[in-house]
Structure 1
Amino acid sequence: MKTLLKVMLTIAAIFASTFILGRVLGILTENNVREWLELASTLSVLTVAAVVIGLLAIDLFVAVPTLTIVIVGSYFLGFEWGFSAAMAGSALAAFGGYAICSRWGESALSRVIRDKKQRSEMRDAFTAHGPGMIMLARAAPILPEVTACMAGMTKMPLARFAMFWLIGTLPYMSIAAYAGSVSTLDDPRPAIFAALGLYAVMWAGWFFYRKWWMKGGARLLV
Structure 2
Amino acid sequence: MKPILKLMFVLICFFACTFVVLKISGLLSIDAIKNWLTHAQSLNSYLVAAIIIALLVLDLFVAVPTLTLIILAGYFIGPTLGAVSAITGMLLAGLGGYWISLIYGHVLIDKLLKTEEEKSLAISNFKTRGPVVILLSRASPILPEVSACMAGMTKMPFKTFLTCWLISIIPYSIIAAYAGSISTLENPKPAIYTAIGLTGFLWLSWWAYKRLNSKTIKKLGCSIDS
Q: TM-score, normalised by structure 1?
A: 0.95
Post-superposition offset of 1:215? 2.9
Larger radius of gyration: 2
Post-superposition offset of 1:59? 0.1
The equivalent residue for 1:213 is 213
**Conserved? CA contact 2:73–2:83, under 8 Å:** no
Post-superposition offset of 1:83? 0.3
The equivalent residue for 1:220 is none
Q: Distance in 2 between matches of 1:213 and 1:60?
A: 29
1:155-191 Cα offsets, whole Å, 9 max, x none, are 1111100111122221211110110111112211111
Q: Does 1:189 align with 2:206?
A: no
CA RMSD, aligned part only?
1.2
The equivalent residue for 1:146 is 146
Q: Distance in 1 between matches of 2:146 and 2:203?
A: 17
Q: Distance in 2 between matches of 1:213 and 1:57?
A: 33
**Conserved? CA contact 2:137–2:147, under 8 Å:** yes
Letter in 2 for 1:109: I
Identity %: 44
Number of residue equivalences? 217
The equivalent residue for 2:114 is 114
The equivalent residue for 1:166 is 166
Post-superposition offset of 1:81? 0.2
Post-superposition offset of 1:109? 1.1
Structure 1 residues without counterparts, runs of 5 or longer? 218-222
The equivalent residue for 2:221 is none
What does 1:10-159 align with in structure 2 at a 5 Å threshold? 10-159=10-159
Q: TM-score, normalised by structure 2?
A: 0.93
**Conserved? CA contact 2:75–2:183, under 8 Å:** yes
Q: Distance in 1 between matches of 2:172 and 2:193?
A: 13
**Conserved? CA contact 2:91–2:166, under 8 Å:** no
Q: Distance in 1 between matches of 2:215 and 2:13?
A: 29
SS in 2 for 1:155: coil
Letter in 2 for 1:14: F
